[in-house]
Amino acid sequence: DSGVTQTPKHLITATGQRVTLRCSPRSGDLSVYWYQQSLDQGLQFLIQYYNGEERAKGNILERFSAQQFPDLHSELNLSSLELGDSALYFCASSVGGQGFNVLTFGAGSRLTVL
Amino acid sequence: SQQGEEDPQALSIQEGENATMNCSYKTSINNLQWYRQNSGRGLVHLILIRSNEREKHSGRLRVTLDTSKKSSSLLITASRAADTASYFCATDGRAGTALIFGKGTTLSVSS
């Protein structure tokens, strides 16, 4: 157990739907990162939050949004889902907000869009 | 976009042999990290090497960094079947942006 908790572990939904993925960072970590892993694109950085504020943005689609709450948990919202959104979504956390921090990853949420 | 590119994409060896994976990146970095991922699971941090370091060891792992060539290598000595996994290098940019990962090297160690 890495200390980073992601729910749900598996999610199957239909095209056009909206889902929310949840992440609780490791105790003491202030920064949360979201990554998407698919076979063809590899591990893509989506977005980072540090202590409630957006810190860095990567290849996140406009249909996707995220936020970090005062208790530091984060949610990634995916809407108007397409087949190509099927992937493993990882949350990671770190103590600091800089890119050189070591990341602790959760076990991931596997999203299947049918 | 990918910052790091691992080479080879896949590597198959026998137990007891050494495994070497390479990583090339494009822009200046503060540090380079290596992570391991067992099939379908979360990534686990292995080792971090700073831009002013040339070599670092951790158990059976040896990492080198050549900033002039923008490349790094990960050597796993005396491989075991349990080392079977995908290995990723990750770099930050000088601006301190979030870690960007390569596509990984899939290592298969057979007994």
Nearest residue in B to A60, CA atom: B1
**Nearest CA to CA, how far is A20 from chain B (Å)?**
19
B4 touching chain A per CB within 8 A: no
Q: Which of B48, B95, B98 sits opposite A33 (nearest CB)?
A: B98
Q: Return the beta strands (E) in chain B as ranges.
A: 4-7, 10-14, 19-25, 31-37, 43-50, 55-58, 61-66, 71-76, 85-91, 100-101, 105-110
Integer angstrom CA distances of residue B27 from A56, A103, B30, B97: 17, 20, 10, 12
pLDDT, tens only, A59-110: 899 999 999 999 999 999 999 999 999 999 999 999 987 767 899 999 999 9
Residue B75 distance to chain A (closest CA, Å): 20
Average of per-residue pLDDT across A28-38 = 95
Bridge partners (DSSP) listed for residue A23: A6, A74
Which residue in B has a C-alpha nearest to residue A50's C-alpha? B98
The count of other CB atoms within 10 Å of the CB of residue A18 is 11
Q: Which of A92, A99, A102 is facing B93, going by the closest CB pair? A: A99
Rounded Cα distance between B68 and A104, Å, is 29
Percent of chain A with pLDDT over 70: 99
Whole-angstrom distance, CA of residue B49 vs CA of residue A11: 37
pLDDT at position B28, please?
Answer: 86
The residue assigned the tokens 């990341």 is A103
Give the per-residue pLDDT at A51.
95
Which of B27, B31, B41, B43 is best to mutate for the A interface (most A CBs within 10 A)? B43
Query: How far is residue B50's CA from residue A29's CA, in Å, rounded to a whole number?
Result: 22
**Band of residue B68 on the pLDDT scale cut at 50, 70, 90:** very high
For residues A18-45, average pLDDT: 94
Q: Reduce the DSSP state of residue A84 to 3 states and report it.
A: helix
In this prediction, residue B1 carries a pLDDT of 46
pLDDT tens digits, B79-109: 999 999 999 999 986 555 788 898 899 999 9
- The predicted-structure confidence for B9-44, as pLDDT tens digits, reads as follows 999 999 999 999 999 998 888 899 999 999 889 999
- In the predicted model, what is the mean pLDDT of residues A3-20? 98
Query: What integer is the mean pLDDT of B51-77?
Result: 96
Determine whether the interchain pair A108/B41 forms a contact, defined as Cβ–Cβ distance below 8 Å: yes
pLDDT-based confidence at residue A20 (cuts at 50, 70, 90) = very high
Q: Which of residues 68-107 of B touch A (CB under 8 A)?
A: 88, 90, 92-93, 95-104
CA Rg value for chain A: 13
Nearest to B91 by CA among B42, B34, B37, B52: B34
